[in-house]
Amino acid sequence: MVLWMSELKLPKRYEYIVSVLSRVERRRIPLKSGLEDIFSEESVDWRVRSTVTAHVLGILRNFRLIDQAINLTLKKGSIHMFKPELKNILRVAVYDIHIRRAVPAKTATMVAVNLAKKMLGDSIARLVNALLRQIENFEIEKVLEREDKAEVLALKYSHPTWFVRYIIELLGEEEAIKLLSTNNSPAPVWLRVNTLKTERDRLIKVLEREGTKVTLDSDLPDVLKVIESRKPPVRLSSFSKGLFYIQDKASVLAGHVLNPKPGELIVDVCAAPGGKTSHIAQLMENEGKIIAIDISRLRIRALKNNMKRLGVKIVETKVMDARKIPEKLKVEADRVIVDPSCSSTGNFRSRPEVRLWIKKKDVKRFAKLQWEILNAAAEIVKEGGTLMYSTCSLTLEENEHLIKRFLDEKNTFKITKAEPFIGNPGFSDLTDTQRLFPHIHDTEGFFIAKLIKMG
């Protein structure tokens, strides 16, 4: 009874968890957006939000293992025949029973049944109760009893099987396992110092007063890594004042590789929400002009808000399909950065929700879009200018293969070393491109290629 009283707050928290997971899965939106949607509907303390976020991330990092345990319990069919809310009520319970193990199995079942009754009705609640009573005594290790090694790893680490096979072929089994394991650990929080408003050492002192400990990065001078924080960095006063931007180290590296200069004209393609845009502006010391392009009016609005908070004054925004740049943007740019939509296979650590829906066929679809955008962007680079291409994907099709094809077909461009060079050399003999990996560099999986337009 004492235990149950201590768990009285769980159902409401679990309602948030199920709602977030269901919204993300149904709409295929980023987890961050799903959380914003749910918590904007009512006032929720940031501590509750942090707890919900951690719980959701744990489920997403184990969803294939969980789903298969449920499938083995069902008499026929699979979890995928259920609507998202039912799927996620079951996932939450199985996660608590067999992986998190923070409450007794019977308590987890009781919470799930009550939640099902509230959200889906009595008949579904009875189904949930019947399934979970069987799963309470299930040996989850049985899920991994199969001969196909790639499928075992895919289930164990909850990655798409096609991706596991792909990454084993690309990196070898030993490195692939390290990558998969790292993807299931909490992603680091990297901060980029906004030198338009402060200096690195001054920011470190401000952060310390706010209860946030950081460490210097040995590669990039404007990057800090969060070691400990009483509050999420986004809740800090220094964040609201625009003293820093939360940005992965690999993404910050892209700005340094572009190497923009004060007074130049820069075009940032697929720019929103503006992490690279604002970094480029600070490297330019707020002198010159940046044209930031994105197809989404909503994302451009977010970019404008970020520029205002960060004190960036040299950005002109355009809502535009990047494939139509040559006909709609009559400029000759000193530097153009193309960071297009991709399969996000390099983001499986920070965005495990992508694993729910990304398919092998999506890689081909994204590569086609990236090719069209890169070719369009190349048209506005002036002679002697720079064209930089980056993605947060690990596939060859979206990276080296695309760049090799571009160089073969565009003899006016040549590749140059992507410096500062802190990653691994690219594949397919493109050693001047660089890749960063979660298990090696503690960043997102990232690719950068730097090209020069010859006269």
pLDDT digits (tens, 9 = 90+) for 417-431: 999 999 999 999 999
What is the average pLDDT score of the chain?
94
**CA–CA separation, 387 vs 414, rounded Å?**
10
Residue 435 has pLDDT above 60, yes or no: yes
Dihedral (CA of 112, 84, 82, 160) sign: negative
pLDDT in tens, 261-279: 999 999 999 999 999 999 9
Mean per-residue pLDDT for 75-94? 93
Residue 92 has pLDDT above 50, yes or no: yes
The whole-number pLDDT of residue 12 equals 82
Identity of the residue numbered 237: S
At 11, the pLDDT band (50, 70, 90 cuts) reads: low
Mean per-residue pLDDT for 322-330? 96
Exposure on the CB side of residue 447, measured as CA atoms within 13 A: 27
The whole-number pLDDT of residue 44 equals 77
**CA–CA separation, 445 vs 440, rounded Å?**
10
The whole-number pLDDT of residue 216 equals 98
Q: Is 289 exposed, middle or buried (0-12, 13-18, 19+ CB in 10 A)?
A: middle
Could you tell me whether strands 333-338 and 265-269 are parallel, antiparallel, or unpaired per DSSP bridges?
Answer: parallel
At 47, the pLDDT band (50, 70, 90 cuts) reads: confident
The whole-number pLDDT of residue 10 equals 54
CA dist 154 → 24, 166, 311 (Å): 21, 11, 44
The answer to whether the beta carbons of residues 333 and 267 sit under 8 Å apart is yes
Neighbours of 12 (CB within 10 A): 12
The whole-number pLDDT of residue 49 equals 87
The whole-number pLDDT of residue 103 equals 86
At 7, the pLDDT band (50, 70, 90 cuts) reads: very low
Which domains does the chain carry? 2-143 (1.10.940.10), 149-183 (no CATH), 190-246 (3.30.70.1170), 250-453 (3.40.50.150)
Answer yes or no: 392 catalytic. yes
Residue 4 has pLDDT above 50, yes or no: no
Nearest to 279 by CA among 390, 402, 409: 390
Give buried/exposed letters for 205-231 (b at 16+ CB in 10 A, else e): ebbeebebebeebeebebbbebeebee
Residue 434 has pLDDT above 90, yes or no: yes
Residue 1 has pLDDT above 80, yes or no: no
The whole-number pLDDT of residue 75 equals 79
Q: Which among 392, 402, 436, 451 is annotated as catalytic?
A: 392
Mean per-residue pLDDT for 130-142? 91
**CA–CA separation, 202 vs 199, rounded Å?**
5
Residue 231 has pLDDT above 50, yes or no: yes
Neighbours of 146 (CB within 10 A): 11
At 77, the pLDDT band (50, 70, 90 cuts) reads: confident
**CA–CA separation, 378 vs 376, rounded Å?**
5
The whole-number pLDDT of residue 3 equals 35
Task: Among 8-12, 125-129, 224-228, 416-420, name the one with the lowest average pLDDT.
Answer: 8-12
Residue 8 has pLDDT above 50, yes or no: no
Neighbours of 413 (CB within 10 A): 17
Contacts of residue 18, Cβ cutoff 8 Å, sequence gap at least 6: 85, 88, 89, 92, 115, 119
Mean per-residue pLDDT for 90-107? 93
Helix or strand holding residue 36 (H, E): helix 31-40
* pTM value surpassing 0.85: yes
